[in-house]
């Protein structure tokens, strides 16, 4: 497990080994209480404006009753939050977070997703189900794609935490299924063949400021929240620049967005410009290859 603080210099060999073997690690107290308070305020701003029917926003399927103060409309996820609030734009570019992915994947890191996942009060989240993220992403040209969840609240079993199966990232991409459950408003997502993994699942306790870093092939699940307050996690997915989205499946805002080059975090302007240049350079290589 990660020690206290930011590991600013580089990830220890232990953490890198844990990532290779188990497919995840936890950085305890990675963000300070001041940073978490700012992120909660930003979340409250964004969530207060999310209305049903908006693109890239999901809502509690169980009830349309009002939620709590921070999430009055019972939003369960919201994509591209870095475009909605400058604090989330800054979070995606936090030096210490970006450096974690440089240590895992190399000096040049691109964005892939920037979202918030919210477990609303008394949410039965079983429908969310065990899954891997990779089936939504592949084909990728390599495996250098992973997620960081920043916990803004204390979360665990039945309090909105994340469960995972250590080591399951090494077994490839599994088929996904959707099962109807009597009385449920939505189907339950499942991994076909999960039975043999279930006994290995763990459910860590997370505190505000902790970060879970995991490989996109790792089996995981978002848990129910049987408390009376919304529990918020920020999702930041990153990948190595040389991890190519071969069929351009990623439609999230950070797709192909340079976040670091040579381990240096870029500003929003720099990375927007660089994305345009890199995409233009890539298409001219494709054109030249076709002419030859
Ligand atoms: O919110 C969580 O606990 C897990 C999030 C998740 O499953 C996902 O982003 O794929």
**Extents of the domains making up the chain:** 13-291
What the block records as the tokens of 292 is 């030859």
Ligand 1 atom index nearest CA of 119: 1
What b/e sequence results for 129-152 when a residue is b if at least 16 CB atoms lie within 10 Å of its CB, and e otherwise? bbbbbbeebbebeebbbbbbbbbb
Query: CA 20 to CA 215: how far, in whole Å?
Result: 9
Mutate to test the pocket of ligand 1, among 220, 223, 237 (most ligand atoms within 8 A of CB): 220
Cβ atoms of 49 and 23 closer than 8 Å: no
Measured CA to CA, the distance from residue 244 to residue 141 in angstroms comes to: 5
Atom of ligand 1 minimally distant from the CA of 160: 3
- pLDDT tens for 1-51 read 444 444 445 788 999 999 999 999 999 999 999 999 999 999 999 999 988
Summary mean pLDDT of the chain: 93
pLDDT for 195: 95
Q: In angstroms, rounded to a whole number, what is the distance separating the alpha carbons of residues 3 and 26?
A: 9
- The answer, yes or no, to whether residue 243 has pLDDT greater than 60, is yes
pLDDT digits (tens, 9 = 90+) for 120-156: 999 999 999 999 999 999 999 999 999 999 999 999 9
What residue's CA is closest to ligand 1, atom 10?
Answer: 133
| Shortest-distance Cα residue to atom 6 of ligand 1 | 222
Instruction: Measure the CA–CA gap between 10 and 29, rounded to whole angstroms.
Output: 16
Q: Report cis status (omega within 30 of 0) of the bond before 139.
A: yes
Please state which of the four CATH numbers 2.60.120.620, 3.40.309.10, 3.40.50.300, 1.25.10.10 is assigned to the domain occupying 13-291.
2.60.120.620
Calpha distance 250→245 (Å, rounded): 7
Q: Whose CA is nearest to atom 4 of ligand 1?
A: 222
Distance linking the first and last C-alpha atoms of the chain: 52
CA separation for the pair 84, 266 (Å, rounded): 19
Output the ligand 1 site: residues, CB below 6 A.
Answer: 117, 133, 149, 162, 220, 222, 233, 235
């Amino acid at each position: 497990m990660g020690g206290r603080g930011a590991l600013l210099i580089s990830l220890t060999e232990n953490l890198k080994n844990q990532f290779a073997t188990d497919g995840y690690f936890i950085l305890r107290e990675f963000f300070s209480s001041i940073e978490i308070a700012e992120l909660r305020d930003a979340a409250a701003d964004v969530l207060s404006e999310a209305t049903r029917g908006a693109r890239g926003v999901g809502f509690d399927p169980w009830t349309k009753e009002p939620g709590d103060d921070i999430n009055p409309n019972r939003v369960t996820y919201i994509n591209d939050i870095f475009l909605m609030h400058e604090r989330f734009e800054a979070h995606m570019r936090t030096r210490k977070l970006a450096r974690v992915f440089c240590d895992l994947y190399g000096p040049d890191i691109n964005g892939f997703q920037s979202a918030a996942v919210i477990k609303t009060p008394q949410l039965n989240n079983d429908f969310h189900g065990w899954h891997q993220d990779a089936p939504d992403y592949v084909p990728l040209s390599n495996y250098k794609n992973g997620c960081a969840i920043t916990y803004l609240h204390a979360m665990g079993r039945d309090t909105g935490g994340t469960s995972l199966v250590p080591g399951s990232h090494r077994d490839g991409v599994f088929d996904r299924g959707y099962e109807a459950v009597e009385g449920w408003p939505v189907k339950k997502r499942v991994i076909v063949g999960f039975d043999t993994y279930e006994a290995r699942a763990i459910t860590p306790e997370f505190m505000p400021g902790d970060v879970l870093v995991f490989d996109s092939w790792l089996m995981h699940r978002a848990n129910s929240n049987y408390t009376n307050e919304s529990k918020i996690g920020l999702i930041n997915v990153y990948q190595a620049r040389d991890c190519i989205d071969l069929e351009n499946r990623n439609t999230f805002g950070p797709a192909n967005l340079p976040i670091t080059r040579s381990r240096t975090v870029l500003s929003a302007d720099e990375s927007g410009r660089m994305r345009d240049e890199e995409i233009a350079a890539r298409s001219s290589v494709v054109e030249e290859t076709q002419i030859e």
